[in-house]
Amino acid sequence: MNSIEEKCKKKGVRLTEQRKIIAEVMSESKDHPDVDELHKRVSSVDKKISIATVYRTVKLFEEAGILEKHEFKGGKARYEQSPDEHHDHLIDINSGEIIEFVDKDIEKLQNEVAKKLGYKLVDHKLELYGSKIKK
């Protein structure tokens, strides 16, 4: 059983055949597929799964904290399995490649900024857009 299925069990999310397949595909994915791409991947396992079900499942998993949704610049929503340790993303503006990174100092400063403004930081979005330095 894959890790997403386990999380569903733990959270009491009903496991249907379709959800199991979507869970499996997302567990294996190392990238950040959009719904269309995800639908293609699950279709190769069971071609009867509709895109509506993929949309519904992905939203369900997101609300359960199992998947994370990203809305990068001017594109469709992309998903990844919620990581144990939070990370942000750098997007290669030429290739579209997505690189994950962690920076504790930035995180800390974000908290301080929010606090200074009289807010408790609940969530944040940090995306860097860059082009590869050739050397």
Partner DNA sequence: ATAATTGCAAATGCTTTGCTTGTGA
Partner DNA sequence: TCACAAGCAAAGCATTTGCAATTAT
Least Å distance between CB 52 and DNA? 3
Q: Does 86 bind a second copy (CB under 8 A)?
A: no
The Cα–Cα gap between 65 and 77 comes to 16
Measured from the CB atom, the residue of 6 and 112 that comes closer to DNA is: 6
Residue 112's alpha-carbon distances to 92, 108, 120, 125, in angstroms, are: 29, 6, 9, 15
Query: What region, left, alpha or beta, does residue 32 occupy, with left being phi > 0 and alpha being psi -120 to 50 degrees?
Result: beta
Contact pattern from residue 96 through residue 125 relative to DNA, giving x for each residue in contact according to CB under 7 A and a dash for the rest:
------------------------------
Least Å distance between CB 85 and a second copy? 16
Q: Does 17 bind DNA (CB under 7 A)?
A: yes
Report yes or no: 130 and 93 within 8 Å, Cβ to Cβ: yes
Q: Which of 4, 5, 7, 18 binds DNA (CB under 7 A)?
A: 18
Report yes or no: 73 and 96 within 8 Å, Cβ to Cβ: no
The Cα–Cα gap between 87 and 117 comes to 24
Q: Does 96 bind a second copy (CB under 8 A)?
A: no
Q: Does 95 bind a second copy (CB under 8 A)?
A: no
Neighbour count for residue 105 (Cβ, 10 Å): 7
* Residues that bind a second copy in the complex, under the rule CB under 8 A: 71, 73-74, 90, 92-93, 99, 101, 103, 105-106, 109-110, 113-115, 117-133
